[in-house]
Structure 1
Amino acid sequence: MTAVRPAGRALLVVWFVLPLIPVAVWAVSNQWSFPAVLPQEWGVDGVRSAVASGGIEAFVRSTSLALTVAAVATPLGAFAARALARGNVHFPGIVAAILFAPLALPPFAVALGLNVLILRARIPSTLAVVVLLTVAAIPYTTYLMRVAFGAYDPGYEEEARLLGASKSMVLRQIRIPLLAPALSGAALLAFLVGWSDYVITLLVGGGRLVTVPILVASFAAGTGNDAVVAALSIAAVLPPLVLVILLSRLGRRAAR
C-alpha cells in the first residue's frame, strides 16, 4: 500500500504533464515541420508574438476576471449551501433547481439571449460578464459546499458558544478553518469557470474584454500560428495548474 500511493501520484503527474510537452516544445520553436521529430529551429518568436499581440494584458484580464468570479461566487455558494443544508429555505427543491439551472442551459443560448437585455439596460459589458460568470459558477460552489455542510458537525460551534465565544469568533476560529478545504475547492472551481470561459466573455464582452481563451482562439483560427498558440496555451494552463499544486500542498499540511 505504501508503494502504491507514490506510483499513483507519479502516474497522475504523467497523465497531466505528458500532453503539455509538445505544446511546450512548440512554444520555443521557430520552425517545426513534418516529419522532423524535433524542431529544425529553436527560438522564442512565438512568445514574442504572443506578448506583442497583447498576451500580457489578456493574462492580467483573465486573472482579474477569474479572481473576481471566485471572490463573489464562493461566499454566495457557501451561504446558499448552508441554507439548504440547514433547511432554512422554503421549497428547497425549487430553490436548488434554480441554483443548478445554469448547468442545464446552453451557455451560448443564455449569453445570446441576455446580451440583448444587457445592451438595452446599458449595463457595462465587464460588469455583465462578471455577473453572468458568477451565476455560472454558483452551481459548482453550492454543490461542493452543500456536501461539506452535510458532513459538518455543528457541535463544535455549540461547545464554543457554551464557553463564551461570540459569533464572529465561532466563524473565524471554528467554521472557516473546518470548512477551509471545501472553500478552497469551491474557489478553485469558480476560478476555473472565470478563467476558461470563452462564449460568455466573447458575446457579452463584445470583443472589448480580450482574455487568454479569446486570444488563443483567435490565433488558432489562423494558419502558421502554431508557436504563438502554444505560447498562449502554456499561459492558459499555468495558473490553474499552480493553484491545484498549492491547494494539494495546503491540504496535506492541514491533514498532518
Structure 2
Amino acid sequence: METRPRSFYVLTVFFVLFLAFLYGPTVTIGILSFQGPGGGLTFPMRGTSLHWFRDLFQQQAVGDIWGSFSRSFTLGVMVMVTTVVVSVMGGLAFRKRFAGSTLLFYLVITSLVIPSILISLGVGLIWSQSGLPVHWSTSGFGAQLTWTLPFGLLIMFAVFNRFDSSYEEAARDLGASSWQVIRHVVLPIVAPSLIGVALFGFTLSYDEFARTLLTSGSYNTLPLEIFGMTTNVTTPVLFALGTLTTMFSLSVIVLFLLVVWLLNRRRARMGSDAGKGMV
C-alpha cells in the first residue's frame, strides 16, 4: 500500500484552515441568525427560532431594506446585460488587430488596479460637476461598469482566442450573411461563456460597495443599506438579512450553472443527432 508523503497531510490541514477562514464568517452569521427572541449578536445562543427572520419582514424594523434590494437587483440586471453585450462586441472586435487596440486593452484593464473608492469619487465628481443628478441608475451604473466590463472582456478574449474560425467559414460558404453567422454559429458556440460573463456582471454588481458609495445619490443599494444598518441595528435581524442575501446569491449562481448545464446537454444532443444523420 502506497503511503502518502508528510507534505500531503500538511497541505491538507492548510487547505482545511483556508476553507474555515474563507467560509467561517458566513457560516457563523447563518448560525447566529437563528437566535431566540432574547438572543444577541454573539455566542452563546439563547435558544433557536425564526424570530429575526419574521422581524426582518416588518418594514419598520429594518428601514428601506426592500427598496434597496429592488434597486440592487435592477442595477445588477442592467450591469449584467450591458456587460454581456459590450463584452461580446469587444471580443469580436479584438479578433482583428486595429490601430490602438493594445493601448485600448491596457486602458480597460487599468480600471481593475485603480482603488475602487477613487473610481467612485471620480465618477461622482464628473456627474456633479456636469450638473447631472448623482443617482444609482446613472452614475452608479457607470461606476460599476468600470468593475464588471474588464472581467467580461477578459473572459471573451480567452474564448475567442480558442475559437475555431472554420465554423464561420463553413457558414459563409453555405451563403450565410455576417449577421446569420454571428446569430446561428458564433453565439450558440460561446453561449456557456456568455452565461459566465452574465454571472460575473450580476454578482459583482449586486454586492459592490466601494464603487457605489459616492455614486448612488440619496438612495442606497443593498450593500450600502446593510453598512448603514451596522451603525444602529444591534439585534440578529442583521444576521438574518445577511443569511437571506447569501442564499439569494447562491440561488443565482445555481440558476446560472443550471442554464450552462442545459446548454451543454443540448449541444451534446444536437451533435449526437447530427452524427447519426451523417451515418
TM-score by length of structure 2 reads 0.77
Question: What secondary structure does 2:163 align onto?
Answer: coil
Q: Aligned pair in 2 of structure 1 residues 216, 50: CA closer, same or farther (>3 Å)?
A: farther
Maintained 8 Å contact 2:56/2:241: no
Partner of 2:13: none
Partner of 2:33: 27
Q: Give the whole-Å Cα distance in 2 for the aligned partners of 1:160 and 1:106.
A: 45
TM superposition shift of 1:156: 0.9
| 2:155 paired with 1:123 | no
Partner of 2:79: 69
TM superposition shift of 1:116: 2.0
2:120 to 102, 111, 116: 111
Given residue 224 of structure 1, which amino acid in structure 2 is its aligned partner? T
Q: CA RMSD in A?
A: 2.5
Q: Aligned pair in 2 of structure 1 residues 57, 35: CA closer, same or farther (>3 Å)?
A: closer
Q: Aligned pair in 2 of structure 1 residues 169, 239: CA closer, same or farther (>3 Å)?
A: farther
Q: Give the whole-Å Cα distance in 1 for the aligned partners of 2:149 and 2:75.
A: 15
TM superposition shift of 1:75: 1.2
2:100 to 91, 105, 111: 91
Moved more, 228-237 or 66-75: 228-237
TM superposition shift of 1:19: 5.4
Given residue 170 of structure 1, which amino acid in structure 2 is its aligned partner? V
2:49 to 42, 58, 77: 42
What 5-or-longer segments of structure 2 have no aligned partner?
1-15, 266-279
Partner of 2:273: none
Q: Give the whole-Å Cα distance in 1 for the aligned partners of 2:53 and 2:229.
A: 11
Q: Give the whole-Å Cα distance in 2 for the aligned partners of 1:188 and 1:115.
A: 26
Given residue 140 of structure 1, which amino acid in structure 2 is its aligned partner? F
Given residue 113 of structure 1, which amino acid in structure 2 is its aligned partner? G
Maintained 8 Å contact 2:195/2:260: no
TM superposition shift of 1:253: 3.1
Q: Aligned pair in 2 of structure 1 residues 35, 211: CA closer, same or farther (>3 Å)?
A: closer
| 2:111 paired with 1:102 | yes
Within-5 A mapping of 1:230-249: 230-249=239-258
Given residue 217 of structure 1, which amino acid in structure 2 is its aligned partner? F
Q: Aligned pair in 2 of structure 1 residues 93, 47: CA closer, same or farther (>3 Å)?
A: farther
TM superposition shift of 1:94: 0.7
2:209 to 173, 190, 198: 198
Given residue 73 of structure 2, which amino acid in structure 1 is its aligned partner? T
Partner of 1:155: 166
TM superposition shift of 1:44: 2.4
TM superposition shift of 1:160: 1.2
Partner of 1:4: none
TM-score by length of structure 1 reads 0.83
TM superposition shift of 1:107: 1.2
Runs of 4+ displaced beyond 6 Å: 14-18
Question: What secondary structure does 1:39 align onto?
Answer: coil
Maintained 8 Å contact 1:144/1:182: yes
Q: Give the whole-Å Cα distance in 2 for the aligned partners of 1:249 and 1:35.
A: 37
Given residue 84 of structure 2, which amino acid in structure 1 is its aligned partner? T
- Could you tell me the percent identity over the aligned residues? 20
Deviations 1:44-67 (A, max 9, x none): 235424651222211111100011
Counting matched residue pairs gives 240
Q: Which has the larger radius of gyration?
A: 2
Q: Give the whole-Å Cα distance in 1 for the aligned partners of 2:32 and 2:168.
A: 54
Moved more, 132-141 or 38-47: 38-47
Q: Give the whole-Å Cα distance in 1 for the aligned partners of 2:104 and 2:93.
A: 10
TM superposition shift of 1:115: 1.8
